[in-house]
Chain A
Amino acid sequence: MAVCVAVIAKENYPLYIRSIPTENELKFHYMVHTSLDVVDEKISAMGKALVDQRELYLGLLYPTEDYKVYGYVTNSKVKFVMVVDSSNTALRDNEIRSMFRKLHNSYTDVMCNPFYNPGDRIHSRAFDSMVTSMMIQVC
């Protein structure tokens, strides 16, 4: 389903990034990093609109031939970036949205952990397994 899932801190450093092991990890790192441009663009565009009731889901950030990069930004400006295979046409906006929501919930759980320092890399096993489930889940 997703081929790469990344959580990016407010300061744009990765808190968590994981991609499917079969592909070159570096490529996804570059792809996620590049997509931050679009995230910034979208956030700043949104800044002009209503900030309060803004949509967390940023939609398709950055389509490439093979992959689609979707973005999601929390209220604390933590970004979630998900890369999915372009050929997977079964993945519609709604599915992506719900995946992001799941990701956000899991991230919130991580943040609720009193032993987790906000800003540290995420090593939570629960979060990891949730991401795994999103990556292998076949639609």
Chain B
Amino acid sequence: MAAPAEPLPPVIYTMENKPIVTCAGDQNLFTSIYPTLSQQLPREPMEWRRSYGRAPKMIHLESNFVQFKEELLPKEGNKALLTFPFLHIYWTECCDTEVYKATVKDDLTKWQNVLKAHSSVDWLIVVVENDAKKKNKTNILPRTSIVDKIRNDFCNKQSDRCVVLSDPLKDSSRTQESWNAFLTKLRTSLLMSFTKNLGKFEDDMRTLREKRTEPGWSFCDYFMVQEELAFVFEMLQQFEDALVQYDELDALFSQYVVNFGAGDGANWLTFFCQPVKSWNGLILRKPIDMEKRELIQRQEATLLDLRSYLFSRQCTLLLFLQRPWEVAQRALELLHNCVQELKLLEVSVPPGALDCWVFLSCLEVLQRIEGCCDRAQIDSNIAHTVGLWSYATEKLKSLGYLCGLVSEKGPNSEDLNRIVDLLAGLGAERPETANTAQSPYKKLKEALSSVEAFEKHYLVSITNGSQGRTRMAQCHGMGLQRVAGRRKKSPQKAEIYLQGALKNYLAEGWALPITHTRKQLAECQKHLGQTENYLQTSSLLASDHHLTEEERKHFCQEILSFASRQTDSPGHKIVLPLHCFAQLRDLHFTPSNAVVHVGGVLSVEITMCSQMPIPVYVEQIAINVHFSIEKNNYRKTAEWLTKHKTSNGIINFPVETSPFPASQNNLPALELYEMFERSPSDNSLNTTGIICKNVHMLLRRQESSASLETPSGVALEDGAHVLKCSGVTLEPGANRITFRTQAKEPGTYTLRQLRASVGPVWFVLPHLSPRVQYDVYSQEPQLHVEPLADSLLAGIPQKVKFTVTTGHYTVKNGDSLQLSNAEAMLILCHAENRAVIYSNTREKASDVSLRVQSSDKVTSISLPAAPAYHMIEFELEVLSLPSAPVTGGDSSTLGVTEPHRKHKDTQKAGYCMATTDHKVSIDCPWSIYSTVIALTFSVPFRTTHSLLSAGTRKYIQVCVQNLSELDFQLSDGNLVDTGSSGDLQLVPLNTKTPQHIYSKQSVFFVWELKWTREPPPSLRCQFSVGFSPASEGRLSIPLKPYTYEFQVENFFTLYSVRAEILPPSGTEHCRTGSLCSLEVSITRLSDLLEVDKDEALTESDDYFSTKLMYEVVDNSSNWAVCGKSSGVISMPVAAQATHRVHMEVMPLFAGYLPLPDVRLFKYLPHHSAHSSQLDADSWIENDSLSVDKHVDEQLDSGSIKSRGSVHSASSSEHKGLPMPRLQALPPGQVFNSSTGMQILVIPSKDDHVLEVSVT
């Protein structure tokens, strides 16, 4: 540039292109200024405003300054932009008007005319002022005059077209200023020119593009035009814009190709359809591939040429833009696209040519990217390049196939010819890569040169092509296997590859790839002679439904032929997993509960689903059984086991869906249970939570090493117990196989391994899951006796069930049960008893009659003959004699009120029935020991009695309460005096007819007691009543009556008490609040009797008296007793002796009020016998006093108060003095004749408040 005088060099399309600026005028001046100018111009950016709404850009301008020549100006129609001079500058240093007028003006005019002729309006006149020069001149005109002149002469209206540059080579502020002004002007002018000229160019270009439908339009011409624009943008460093131009071209071309495919062909496109003769790949190392460009210009380019060129330009621009990854991505698109386009345009391509082209191009792009990025960048962006690598790999592979480089024998002559042809199409290596050792060209050439080299290169591309992509690696690895395996070169390596791939496919559950991989694996293993592995893979393939029937048959046949072939080494077994051969569907036990007794026959029926496509003869199918003796043998009875087993005896095995991923298939479902932990002391909840019971299954480490297909995990188990089935032909699909076995030892048998043998090949299912087991048990003979009803009732015939479980004992004819009779229990023998014999599974075996012989001591039951493990059931009627325990006589010693002390507690708890136990000992034929069986009978009745008085007349009432659920008929109620004194008479007041007593109801019986002489102090009675169940009409045997014994003491009435309340004198009725008088008269009814002879009795001169204490108590607080409510009287012991007591009472309420109670106590003086234990026992005595007094339980507050006074009195005294005692008179001895009397009390008139209580 520094030599503008030199002839214009040809345009070289390189980066060094800059917009052209022409310089006219004073060349020496310009030369002196040029260095500063070219340095200063790009220093500051300038904003470039664009048309068509494009975003403004900051742009650093540079220029190529050339000497002005008329040839430089473009002729009409010349579209070249690169050579287009954007600005014309005229330089002058003239400061002399003379000189100006003489030369400069003419020169300027000429220059202007030339510009005008070419209609170029972008020009500038620079006037350089130089102080030094000025000083030399004598006739100095004012400097402005020259500039003004120029402005006047040339720049009409555009005065800014003339710029002054002052002292450009000096270093002063003025110089700086003028430089800045000049540069700004220059930049602005340049940009204006760009805008204008590019705009015009673009408009022209668009016009040209619009003509594309016209015949004769050529894409290549248009291409050149638009590329020109791209060049200019590139020149202005606007790579983005430049790229847009190429992308537009690309899109346009693509669209044409698509349209062509759709039948809308453009003429010019046919040219691109010429056969492909050269396939030397992309060339990206040069910024512009002139060779190809010329081809395009000459319209001789093929499609590949055009695409290659276009891409090389795009690549260059993208690299300028620092977007290498986009290059990779676009490259892949381009390559795919080119292949498609060639197909679409039906361009004839020699086989393999495209593969070569793609391979070379891929490598070229990759190398180009590598060339402009460092290693780290490439590594982190592997995802972008991996596609190219993998594409290259694919292409190399297909080349390998095409040229016989992967065949077993290597390439044949035809293949070699093809290789030569392909290499020829590559042409010679391009000079720019000739020195690079690893150029794509050299690589391809080498790969095609020999099999080994091919493999090497192939492997390299595989590793590169699958970085970070495992699945792709597998996919390619499979390719490699095919390459290697086919040539028997390294099948080991291939096998490893395939196993790895297979593992992944299995883990991710891809059925078809699994099948395909297995097929290759089988091939590989066959080559390697891995018999077991091969057979296993074969069995898997034979059962694979994704293969065709023929293929499956082939693999099945492989197994069978192997099995039939190898007979020389008989001990050798090949163990394979069963699941690929056949699947266990279900298992069925007979008997269904899977429990057999020793010696019993068990059959196991299994359903096996054969996966083989053809029927397979299996020599033996065996199930290995693990035997264990149960520790807790006692539980293993038939009944227990039956309760704990599945009812139908069918166990289903989950269907294995083999090609499902491990993640789904292997992990069992969560088994969650709720958990509560309570503290042992107070049972409160400590913790609660959820427990996963199969954590060990879920969290165990996934065995990474154990491949799904290695048979190592399957081991043959040896065991003594084996279920066998020989000579079975397994048809495809479900087969039923039955095993039979006779149970020998008792214990639990767990089915472990299932195996099927075909010759030396054993298919083994190592574990049966879910667990399957059967039990063999041995049982001791047993006898059970239990009542038929809930409880046995005493007194009536009851049925008892006998169950004989024979166990291992066989009951022979003549065996019998010997029952030793209990005294109070009868075994009722009927004419015919029937026994039923059941088999072990509760099936009725037979029904026989039973012979029962009864003697005094022993009842003998002859058992019917029954085989082992059967049950004999029969029923017997027993009768517990009801009264026996009651008459046993403990009641006689008890008090009157508690005839059955033994049962008192239970009665209180809710009147339970009294029970009696009868023990029966039974001698069984199988044992030398007797079995003792306790039968509990309940007494259905509860009986109570009471003594009733009416003056001196006495009655005895007996209450019979039925506690059972049954209704009874009561008859012949009878009461007899057992006390032997004949003068007493019991007169029944009951009906004679039988009475019905319903369940939970009572019946009362009453007798009047009459006597003629002085009655005895006590009376012993026995009550008896006949009873029979009401429901049964007639009983076969007479039943014993129910008896009840009791004793009545002191039943004779000694005193009669009579109370009377009289209203106050003068009034008719008692009134509330007014005092009334209470008259109590106590009358002795008899003379001295035996019962009176006690401590209280005092005797003086044949006159006997006794001390009594009376007490007036009002339980219901109706009365207020005024004054003393109790007192001690001395009562003469003589008939009709009467003592009257008068006291005042006040009614508290109005209405009919019952009279207050009057109670009588025997007042016993302190006895000397007690004094010795005085202090220690004084409290006890007090207690006894209160106990004695405790006649009536209904003591109200009033009486407590009064008793409290007694207590306080006694307690104050008891320390020093002996205490008198109170003793209640027995109820029979006192007759209160005023019981139940009521007296009318009317409310007092002056009561202001009337209380009415309504109850």
Contacts and interface: CB of A to CB of B under 8 A. Distances in A.
Interface of A: 11-14, 25-26, 29-30, 33-34, 36-38, 41, 45, 62-65, 86-87, 89, 119
A13 B332 CA distance: 29
Given A63-B333, A65-B340, A25 B508 contact: no
B1104 to A, nearest CB: 103
Contacts of A65: 335-336, 339-340, 391
Given A11-B661, A11-B663, A26 B512 contact: yes
Given A63-B336, A89-B258, A13 B508 contact: yes
Contact of A37 (B394, B470, B509): B470
Contact of A34 (B336, B344, B475): B475
Contacts of B509: 13-14
A34 B505 CA distance: 11
A79 to B, nearest CB: 12
**What are the 9 A-B residue pairs with the smallest beta carbon separation, nearest first?**
A13-B509, A37-B469, A13-B661, A29-B512, A12-B508, A11-B663, A37-B471, A34-B472, A65-B339
Contacts of A33: 471, 475, 505, 508, 510, 513
Contact of A11 (B339, B513, B664): B664
B471 A86 contact: no
Given A33-B508, A41-B469, A13 B664 contact: yes
Given A13-B663, A25-B512, A64-B394, 14 more contacts: A14-B511, A29-B512, A30-B516, A33-B510, A34-B475, A41-B383, A62-B387, A64-B336, A65-B340, A86-B336, A86-B340, A87-B340, A87-B344, A119-B664
Nearest to A121: B660
B59 to A, nearest CB: 34
Nearest to A12: B508
B508 A34 contact: no
22 contacts: A11-B508, A12-B661, A13-B508, A13-B510, A14-B511, A25-B512, A26-B516, A29-B511, A29-B512, A30-B513, A30-B516, A33-B471, A33-B505, A33-B510, A34-B471, A38-B383, A63-B332, A63-B387, A64-B391, A86-B340, A87-B344, A119-B664
Q: Which of A12, A34, A45 is the most central at the interface, judged by chain B CB atoms within 10 Å of its CB?
A: A34
Contacts of A36: 471
Contact of A14 (B343, B471, B510, B516): B510
A59 to B, nearest CB: 11
B468 interface: yes
Contacts of A119: 664
A11 B383 CA distance: 22
A30 B344 contact: no
Contacts of B468: 37, 41
Contact of B660 (A13, A87, A89): A13
A87 B663 CA distance: 38
Nearest to A24: B512
Contacts of A63: 332-333, 336, 387
Nearest to A68: B336
A98 B53 CA distance: 33
Contacts of B508: 11-13, 33
Interface string B310-354: 000000000000000000000011011001100110000000000
B471 to A, nearest CB: 5
Nearest to B255: A89
A38 to B, nearest CB: 7
Interface in B233-249: none
Nearest to A15: B509
A91 B2 CA distance: 56
Nearest to A120: B664
B385 to A, nearest CB: 13
Interface size class of B (residues with CB under 8 A): 20 to 34
Interface in B373-396: 383, 387, 391, 394
Contact of B472 (A14, A25, A37, A89): A37
Nearest to A31: B475
A26 B512 CA distance: 6
Interface in B450-507: 468-472, 475, 505
Contacts of B333: 63
Interface string B640-666: 000000000000000000001101100
A36 B643 CA distance: 54
Contacts of A11: 508, 661, 663-664
A85 to B, nearest CB: 10
Contacts of B511: 14, 29
B687 to A, nearest CB: 33
Contacts of A62: 387
A119 B660 CA distance: 11
Nearest to B664: A119
Contact of B469 (A30, A38, A64, A89): A38
Contacts of A86: 336, 340
Contacts of A25: 512
A41 B469 CA distance: 8
Nearest to B333: A63
B343 to A, nearest CB: 8
A28 to B, nearest CB: 9
Interface string B32-46: 000000000000000
A89 B470 CA distance: 30
Contacts of A37: 468-472
A62 B332 CA distance: 10
A25 B548 CA distance: 14
B258 to A, nearest CB: 5
Contacts of A26: 512-513, 516
B503 to A, nearest CB: 13
Nearest to B473: A37
A34 B513 CA distance: 11
A26 B475 CA distance: 12
Contacts of B475: 30, 33-34
A106 B505 CA distance: 27
A14 B505 CA distance: 11
A122 to B, nearest CB: 14
A29 B510 contact: yes
B279 to A, nearest CB: 15
Contacts of B343: 87
A65 B390 CA distance: 12
A62 B510 CA distance: 19
Contacts of A64: 336, 391, 394
A69 to B, nearest CB: 11
B94 to A, nearest CB: 66
A112 B343 CA distance: 45
B396 to A, nearest CB: 14
A37 to B, nearest CB: 4
Nearest to B510: A33
Interface string B404-425: 0000000000000000000000
A15 to B, nearest CB: 10
Contacts of A13: 508-510, 660-661, 663-664
Nearest to A41: B383
Contacts of B472: 34, 37
Contacts of B510: 13-14, 29, 33
B654 to A, nearest CB: 15
Q: Which of A29, A38, A41 is the most central at the interface, judged by chain B CB atoms within 10 Å of its CB?
A: A29
A64 B475 CA distance: 14
A15 B708 CA distance: 22
Contacts of B336: 63-65, 86
Contacts of A41: 383, 468-469
Interface string B924-968: 000000000000000000000000000000000000000000000
B498 to A, nearest CB: 14
Contacts of B469: 34, 37-38, 41
A45 B383 CA distance: 11
A24 to B, nearest CB: 10
Nearest to A37: B469
B346 to A, nearest CB: 13
Contacts of A14: 509-511
